[in-house]
Amino acid sequence: MILQIEFPDNLLLSQLEQQKKIPCHIQVSNKFEVVFEIESTRIIGEVSEYNRTLFEQRVIARAGGNYIYNEPSLITLSRASRGVYRVVDLCVFYSDFGWCSVIENGDYMEPHPFWDHDDEDPDFKPRL
């Protein structure tokens, strides 16, 4: 998973890319965007080179609005080149499940059991 973004070269944001678990917001429609809002600065980057199927197994789709996924998140980046970062860690927050890891150390995590079984069918196993 690669994030393409240009962080402003100023004192306020110069060290941002070196931090771990940076607060952000993911917005996914036909594009996958990561939005950082630091102080009064809004910076938007676009994610590429990700497996949409694996991603969708680890996040909850929302109904309505402009985005299928529009969630508060924490992200850790590793600079690959100017304006290009590898996503090392990505966690998404849900009020009913808490923080759910999507990526750790650059790899997709096991899907969170959002709905782990059906009470009417105790042998039900979600598809992974």
Q: Residues 45-97: pLDDT tens digits?
A: 999 999 999 999 999 888 778 999 999 999 999 999 999 999 999 999 998 88
- Which tokens hold the place of 50? 């990700």
Counts for the chain of helices (H) and strands (E), in that order: 1, 8
Q: Residues 85-128: pLDDT tens digits?
A: 999 999 999 988 899 999 999 999 998 877 655 566 666 665 65
The residues that bridge with 33 in the sheet, in sequence order, are 27, 46
| Count, residues in the chain | 128
Residue corresponding to tokens 């990700």: 50
Continuous segment of H or E residues that includes residue 112: none
Torsion sign across C-alpha atoms 24, 29, 32, 35: negative
Taking alpha carbons only, the member of 48, 53, 60, 44 closest to residue 100 is: 60
